[in-house]
Chains A and B, each alone.
Chain A
Amino acid sequence: MVNSEGQLFTIEGLAAGLIMLLTAFIVVSTTSIYTPGDTHISDMQLEQLGSDALRMMNTPNTSADSAESALQSIIKNNDTDRFRETFLWFCNNKTGGAYDILQFSTDVYYRNTPTTSVNRFHFTESRKPTGGEHAVRVTEWVQVDNTAGGSMPAEVDNRVQAVLVEVLLWRD
């Protein structure tokens, strides 16, 4: 057995070592308190912004010339340019300074009566998505009167119908 006189000093040394290690651990970990949850906050804001923009576009007109909302007539007339302009304007507009840099890609989902399946046609986009974007999905139901004379793509039934406009929205 070796000399055991210094046991208290050993214990004190151990305790001090633990304290220093844990302090270092806490100091290091406070810099990374940015939690995985915090990344979702910007997603939530983007989702809300996109939903609000679509909702504004789908608000019915009060003017006498047409009771249709802007989005209704855009989808009905397949007016992709107007959609791109309006949507980008709503999303990227700011109170002052430069415009924001949001990009989008839009698809429209509809139900096909003969096959009773839900199909999709690509509507428009501001830039082709590469697949690497961190995009959020926002949607809006639109009621379209695509009876005879409607100019939606040929594969869409000619009837009054509800379609779902899906927008992928991301910050460039």
Chain B
Amino acid sequence: MARLNDDAQWIVLMGFIVSFSLFFLGIVINQSTVVGQTTAEGVLEFPKNDILDIRSEVLQSSKITVAADFDDVKKDISSIALSRKNAIVSFRVTQAPPGSTYTKIIDIHYNNGVTAYNETTNY
């Protein structure tokens, strides 16, 4: 570089800076596709409707007065949820203690391996 004219070093430097910053901007844009996908998948895979639905079905089943029918429905819910939703569902309905404002205490457990939902509700 001895005999070389070195007047324009700033131009070279700016050229490098601009090209590298553009390169990193390109990386950022590439990443945005991955982020969009994981977000959408996260929302899709969260079993919001499944849980709401199981919950309303359990509350409805708690109204069943015949013990044999209740056991049948309980088995239906557990086995169909396992085979169609890959979710373990179990619930229990107990009578509230005498003098309570509520008539029943309901425990619901839901677990599909990713999302677990547990609830104890007075009904």
Contact = CB atoms under 8 A, between A and B. Distances in A.
Interface of A: 4-5, 7-8, 11-12, 15-16, 18-19, 22-23, 25-26, 29-30, 33, 35-38, 40-41, 43-44, 47-48, 51, 55, 109-111, 113, 116, 118, 138-141, 143, 159-164, 166
B12 A44 contact: no
Interface in B105-122: none
B contact face: mostly helix, strand, loop, or mixed? helix
A11 B44 contact: no
B100 interface: no
Contact of A37 (B37, B54, B56): B37
Contacts of A143: 57, 60-61, 73
23 contacts: A12-B8, A15-B12, A23-B22, A33-B33, A36-B33, A36-B36, A36-B37, A40-B43, A43-B44, A47-B49, A51-B49, A109-B80, A110-B80, A116-B79, A118-B84, A138-B49, A139-B85, A140-B53, A143-B61, A162-B61, A162-B77, A164-B80, A166-B84
